[in-house]
Copies of this chain bind each other. A is one copy, B any other.
């Protein structure tokens, strides 16, 4: 593992590290904020999965999460959103290929060799964190933005018992019925839609639900609102009687200005579960 940078931040340390990944067969980079409390022993961790076009860096620099994570003594991990490198397949569109891994294991050409972001985020990176840093893997929580919200929701429902709390900012809620989803799931997983269901938060909510508290914020002025299919997940949550809070936030859009506004609430929410 290589240290790309380390900066003192809110009494703790904001690091950026890279490592050769078994899952993707590429060098992968991630951001990790360790609060001051990590000097005394393992701390809980909140994963932040990012959206389309993002790297590990966007949320790390723009979400403002460290200020509140440091108050509670929570680590923050910011994975990348896809494999990178010259030999990694890509597409001219911003929403397919690099920066658009959709947190799945691709089975189709040309994506299958490297686009295994589910395995990377679900298995490899947590294992690496537990071995290399003072992180308490018994206390994990997850959040994400847009495509990363999709990732947070699908990972949480796909890995029961893993996360003590789950939240999302403007998540893609039903990729099987959105242009943010059908194109990508078709490309990565192929035309057999039965393989898509494990990556659709609404279908997962209908089928199995979530074993952790859930908080979702989405802006009423989200410029991508039609692509998110929030109404499908809202209906599924109410029908299942899933414990959850869904907030339609007046006037907010899809940007990090929206995310940073509600990050304090999300850290409060996750802290309550992580320190219960």
Which of B220, B222, B243 is close to A250, meaning CB atoms less than 8 Å apart?
B243
Report if A247-B249 is in contact (Cβ < 8 Å); known contacts: A231-B238, A231-B239, A238-B231: no
Contact A246 B246 (CB under 8 A): yes
Closest to A251 in B: B243
A225 beta carbon closer than 8 Å to chain B: yes
CA distance A247 to B237 in the complex (A): 10
Contact A220 B243 (CB under 8 A): yes
Contact B234 A241 (CB under 8 A): no
Contact B234 A246 (CB under 8 A): yes
CA distance A113 to B179 in the complex (A): 55
Contact B245 A238 (CB under 8 A): no
Count class of interface residues, chain A = 20 to 34
Contact B243 A213 (CB under 8 A): no
A240 to chain B, nearest CB (A): 9
A248: chain B residues at CB < 8 Å are 237-238, 241-245
A249: chain B residues at CB < 8 Å are 243
Contact B250 A247 (CB under 8 A): no
CA distance A244 to B249 in the complex (A): 7
A235 beta carbon closer than 8 Å to chain B: yes
A221 beta carbon closer than 8 Å to chain B: yes
Which of B213, B231, B247, B251 is close to A235, meaning CB atoms less than 8 Å apart?
B231
A230 beta carbon closer than 8 Å to chain B: yes
Report if A225-B241 is in contact (Cβ < 8 Å); known contacts: A213-B250, A246-B246, A250-B213: yes
Contact A245 B246 (CB under 8 A): yes
CA distance A250 to B218 in the complex (A): 21
Contact B237 A235 (CB under 8 A): no
A112 to chain B, nearest CB (A): 35
Which of B230, B235, B247 is close to A245, meaning CB atoms less than 8 Å apart?
B247
A222: chain B residues at CB < 8 Å are 241
Q: Contact flags (1/0) for A185-223 with B, using CB distance below 8 Å?
A: 000000000000000000000000000010000101110
* A242-B248, A243-B251 known, 9 other contacts, Cβ within 8 Å: A218-B238, A225-B241, A231-B234, A231-B239, A233-B238, A234-B237, A237-B248, A244-B248, A245-B247
Q: Which 8 A-B pairs have the closest CB atoms?
A: A243-B250, A231-B238, A234-B234, A235-B235, A220-B241, A230-B238, A234-B238, A231-B239
21 sampled A-B residue pairs with Cβ under 8 A: A218-B238, A221-B241, A222-B241, A225-B241, A231-B234, A231-B235, A231-B236, A231-B237, A231-B238, A233-B238, A234-B237, A235-B238, A238-B246, A238-B248, A243-B249, A243-B250, A244-B248, A245-B246, A245-B248, A246-B246, A246-B247
